[in-house]
Amino acid sequence: MTIDLDTLLGWQFPVIEQSYDERDAILYALGVGLGTDPTDERQLRFLYEEGMVAFPTLALVLGHPGPWYSDPATGIDWIRVVHGEQDLRIHQPLRPRDDIVCHTRVTDVIDKGPGRPALVYWERRVSRRETGEPLCTLSSTLVCRNDGGFGGPSGPARPRAAVPDRPATTWCDLPTSPRAGLIYRLSGDRNPLHVDPRVAREAGFERPILHGLCTLGVAAHAILRSVLDYRSERLVGLSGRFSAPMLPGETVRTHLWLEGDDIAFRCVSLDRDLTVIDGGLATLAGAAETVGAAA
């Protein structure tokens, strides 16, 4: 099958109602690497139910519909799909326990031409179930590597952000666990690409790769650690482009540029000297101040 534009633009997602609690919030935080130093009380507040707060990028896994693009009716060669870009807008800090509702839709589809990818833009809006208050808005880009040339519109594609052309203000190194993908998937994304070596090889990778959203969570940790002294309520927006996959067990170096109320960032795998997130941007509530030298 090939992509049918009208089918994708009209794709019917179920309205997802979800309840999560402290256990889910702790599992998410462990999945993105919190708790490597169990004596760091600043990290412990995301991992221990006594006075607990939710790690802000927990929003990334709320109301996720799963690998909906693997449905044959989409016409997408799902095994060749990678997560291209992600944008998160946090409308209010998440609670460590809540009931939410999520509405999902495809917003646009771009055809890059034969032999090139198709881009599928889709959006999730998460609200508190009891009151309808908006909690966060998530915009994602799927890069369907084997699906260009279906006859759809060729643009306009969304512009690519770039980091400043000057040395970074600071940087932060954070290791990932070899088990990171196995832990992170328990927060909702069960795509076998991240756990099954056979599926990874069929997709063209030497072994299972780390979820892009897990890497983005590691970047958020670097920002909280290096700039915000773990004051998580100040992070109100986060976006980035996944330029290459991380492998579980590698160390992420996050380069940070302070730009007033924004922080530009780039993530590099130190093990392979490879940029894995580029054009990153964090939006803060209040001006940023670096709390220490490179960590």
Q: Provide the annotated active-site residues.
A: 189, 194
List the one residue out of 84, 241, 276, 247 whose CA is nearest residue 181: 247
Between CA 172 and CA 266 the distance in angstroms is 11
Between CA 140 and CA 123 the distance in angstroms is 6
DSSP state of 201: H
List the one residue out of 163, 283, 157, 266 whose CA is nearest residue 219: 266
Between CA 142 and CA 8 the distance in angstroms is 12
Distances (CA, A) of 171 to 40, 57, 282: 19, 20, 14
In this structure, are residues 176 and 248 in contact, taking their beta carbons and an 8 Å threshold? yes
Q: Vertex 180, ends 288 and 246: CA angle to 5°?
A: 70
